[in-house]
Each structure stands twice: as C-alpha cells, then as structure tokens.
Amino acid sequence: MKFTFALPHMMELDAMMQPWEMAVTGADQTRMARRAEELGFDMIAVPEHIVMPREHVDLSGGHWLHSTIAQAYFAGATERITLNSCVTILPLQHPLVTAKALATADWLSGGRMMVTFGVGWLQREFELLGVPFRKRGRIADEYLAAIIELWTQDEPSFAGQFVSFEDVVFEPKPIQQPHPPIWIGGDSDAALRRAARFASGWFTFLTKPEDIAARVDIITSQPEYDGRPFDVMHGLGTNRVGEGHVPTGDRGAWPGMSAAELIDRIGALHEHGVTYTSVPIPPVRGVEEYLDYSQWVMEEIAPNVP
C-alpha cells in the first residue's frame, strides 16, 4: 500500500475539516510537504474548484486551490514526492492550456506530475465559466484525447467538436513517457468507462470500500482496457462525504483511529484492490502535532499493511 499525505487546509469542507486546519497557512503547507517527503509518503494530491457559488459555501467552503498551479509549487518545494490532483475539473479548462501547464510542471520537476481528471458536479460553477454542464462528459473525453495527442505526438493534430488543432508545435513534452500518469476521479459508470479508455488509475469518492472491487471489475472488463497496470486510490476519510459534499456520518471513516483499527481498515482496502490510501486528518492542536502523527503513521502503520 502506498500512502498519500493529507495536506491540511487544502479545502474547508464541512464534512472532513478539523477546526485547527483553519490556521494553517501556505508557508505551513510548504513545510509539511517537505516533511511528508522526508517521512516517506508517496504522494500529495490537491483538490480543486475554480469558483464556489455562495449557496454551496456552508458545505463546501470557499477555499480551493487551482490544482495544477499548486502541484507545480509543491514540486518546486520538494525533490522526490509525486504530485497529483483530486480532482482537476477537466471540462472547465482548455485542453491546450491544461496540457501545457502539466507538461511544464512535469518537465521542470524531473517527471513528478500526475493528474486525476474529473468532469465536475456543480452546475452553477459551469454556468459561471460558460461551459455547458450537460455536455461535460463529451467535452472531457474529447479534451483527454487531445491532451494525450499533444503530449505524445511530434506533429500533434486533432479535430473535434470542442477542440481542434493542426500544424502546431507543442514543446516541451513531459519527461514521463509516454506521458504523466492519468487517473480518473468519480464513481459513475461513465467515469469507469473513461478510466478504462484513458487512465492508469481510479480515484474513488462516493464508492463504499466493500463495492470497490466490483467497480474495478467493470473498468477492467471494458474493451478499451488493455491490461495495463492500474492503481486505485481510496482515502479512509472519503466516505464521510456524500453527494454534494453533504456529511454522511460514516463511523467507518472517522479520524483518530488506533493503530489496530487503521491497520485493519487499510488491510481491508488492500483486499478490495486499493493501492493508495490516506488516513483522516486527526483532531490535534496544530501543525507540529499533525507532523508527529504523520510520523507515527509512517513508522507504526505503513510497515504493517500489505
């Protein structure tokens, strides 16, 4: 099992955030990212919304980063840890710009970028950015194909309904070949089909742990899936959040579990096919206590799980 470091105050989600996180600054996050790397965490993943309608702030908060910019920043502050997103809302951003941003960050970081693409769920956010909400799945599929074309072809060209280009030069290419790992976030059947076609991983959100294996079977049974290695990410605190960011009250995802409880639950995730996880941010009093807790996770939990 690989471990993702849950970086505090990446969002202000009512269902998941601990009160102490509100005082965490960007400078604190930089120091924590470096310490996470020292402790041996495998990944930092950055959530994203571009703009939050006021009617959703009570549940979702208004504090969201731009995932790719944050990934690039944390890559510059570290040396080895992988930087991912959870998720980058693909239909809201032009694929030429998205491809360039991620390729730039991958090139500058020596090949440490990943991206988890999602289609989004907040209709008002799409309206504010002038993107047709009900076409977001078709837009995402086209954008993904265009991004991969830009990353992998010496003379890229693409002709689609939502994006077209030809006679262009796209450099630098990403360091990673054939391209940085692409994961798909989301739990719908359409997301699973998209993962089978384009991705090397799936970032679960609403799926219950006991249902993950069956959902992975759907991915690997698709005709587009070619047997490539495939990762599955499921954070232990994920199921405290329901659709629309409504808290679920799921006691199987609470923070502050004992070592035995964490080992048991992570072992169960492994049996369901999960390859990456994170533990819930605990109710500590500040950054130093959280870093001590993170050290405990890597010393007492990580060595004792598959």
User: Which CA distances in Å does 6 have to 102, 179, 205, 206?
Assistant: 21, 25, 15, 18
pLDDT reported for residue 252? 54
Q: How many CB atoms lie within 10 A of CB 171?
A: 9
Backbone phi and psi for residue 223, each to the nearest 5 degrees, phi listed first: -65, -25
Asked, for residue 119, whether it belongs to a domain, the answer is yes
The encoded tokens of residue 175 equal 């360091």
Closest residue by Cα to residue 115 from 85, 90, 135, 153: 85
Output the pLDDT for position 251. Answer: 53
- Rounded Cα distance between 271 and 252, Å, is 16
Tens of pLDDT, residues 129-184: 999 999 999 999 999 999 999 999 999 999 999 999 999 999 999 999 999 999 99
Q: What's the pLDDT tens digit per position in 191-220?
A: 999 999 999 999 999 999 999 999 999 999
- Is position 274 within any domain? yes
Omega before 306 within 30 of 0, i.e. cis: no
The structural domain count of the chain equals: 1
Whether the model pTM is above 0.85: yes
In this prediction, residue 170 carries a pLDDT of 98
* Residue showing tokens 């309608």: 53
In the predicted model, what is the mean pLDDT of residues 257-263?
A: 95
Within a domain: residue 135? yes
Range of 291's domain? 1-299
Report residue 293: phi and psi, to 5°: -65, -40
Residue 245's domain is classified under what CATH number? 3.20.20.30
Q: Does residue 41 form part of some domain?
A: yes
Neighbouring CB atoms inside 10 A of 110's CB total 12
Tokens of 22: 């509100």
Tokens 């269902």 found at: 15
Q: Is residue 306 part of a domain?
A: no
Alpha helices in the chain, H assignment, sequence order: 26-39, 57-60, 67-77, 95-109, 123-128, 136-152, 189-198, 212-220, 259-271, 287-296
C-beta separation of 69 from 104 below 8 A: no
Strand 43-46 and strand 2-5: pairing? parallel
pLDDT, tens only, 225-259:
999 999 999 999 888 777 888 777 665 567 888 99
Instruction: Please identify which residue in the block is written with the tokens 């232990």.
Output: 236
Asked if residue 304 is part of any domain, the answer here is no
Lowest pLDDT segment from 40-49, 58-67, 77-86, 252-261: 252-261
Q: Return all residues near 169 (Cβ < 8 A) that are at least 6 apart.
A: none
Tell me if 80 is assigned to some domain: yes
Distance CA 195, CA 186 (A): 10
Is 188 a member of any domain?
Answer: yes
